[in-house]
Amino acid sequence: MVTGDEGSLACLLQVQFEVCDATKCKYAAETFEVIYSRDTILHIDDKKDLFTKFLVRISTLYSLVHCDSI
pLDDT in tens, 25-41: 888 888 888 887 778 88
10: pLDDT strictly greater than 70: no
E-strand stretches of 1-70: 32-38, 58-67
Contact 29, 60 (CB under 8 A): no
Classify 37 as helix, strand or coil: strand
21: pLDDT strictly greater than 50: yes
Residue 9 has pLDDT above 70, yes or no: no
Please state whether the predicted TM-score (pTM) of the whole model is above 0.75. no
9 contacts: CB under 8 Å, gap ≥ 6: none
pLDDT (0 to 100) of residue 70 = 55
Distance of CA 1 to the CA centre of its chain: 27
Report the 10 Å Cβ neighbour count for 35: 19
Domain residue limits, the chain: 15-67
